[in-house]
Amino acid sequence: MRTQIWYALCNVNFKAYLIGILVSKYQRRARSINIFIALVTSSSVAGWTIWDKYKAIWGVIIVVSQVVNIIKPYIPYTKFVNKLNSISQELNSLTVDYEKLWYKYNSHKIDENVASNEYFDLKKKLNELLKFDDDIVFSVSNNDKNKANEKMKCYLKSNYNIDIDIKK
């Protein structure tokens, strides 16, 4: 049971870091799209004076902004951010629950049966938490995983004085 609790603690913590990284990534993308559309829209009025000089370039910029505006509803970054942010907060709370369980079990404050029951309750919560709607599809890049691994490495060092080597 000790090993299972430890691996679960590390797993949920890694997932919390990873989801947090995804939230930041999708927030940046949504903000970039909105800024681009806002800049092109507001500068189209101000750009009348330079229309004559750069008609082709300005036309391309306007067409691109309109295409982005049309496909924006099909790139639901805001929906991703809302869902993932909620999950991130719950994962952080679940991490604390696993840390408490680890502490109680490792310091012999609870026995195997109590630890087992708590472990499976937490595992069930985690499984429920990580169920995504069918319309939420996102990918996790190796870069995202590496960032989460680095955060995990710092967490293990600062909380448990464990050095790990992460292979990339």
Q: Which pLDDT score, from 0 to 100, does residue 46 have?
A: 60
With contact defined as beta carbons under 8 Å apart, do 5 and 119 qualify? yes
- Among 34-48, 108-122, 131-145, the range scoring the smallest mean pLDDT is 34-48
Q: What is the pTM of this model?
A: 0.84
- The sign of the torsion formed by the CA atoms of 15, 16, 21, 25 equals positive
Note the residue count of the chain.
168
Q: Which pLDDT score, from 0 to 100, does residue 40 have?
A: 79
Q: Which pLDDT score, from 0 to 100, does residue 44 have?
A: 62
In angstroms, the CA 149 to CA 165 distance is 10
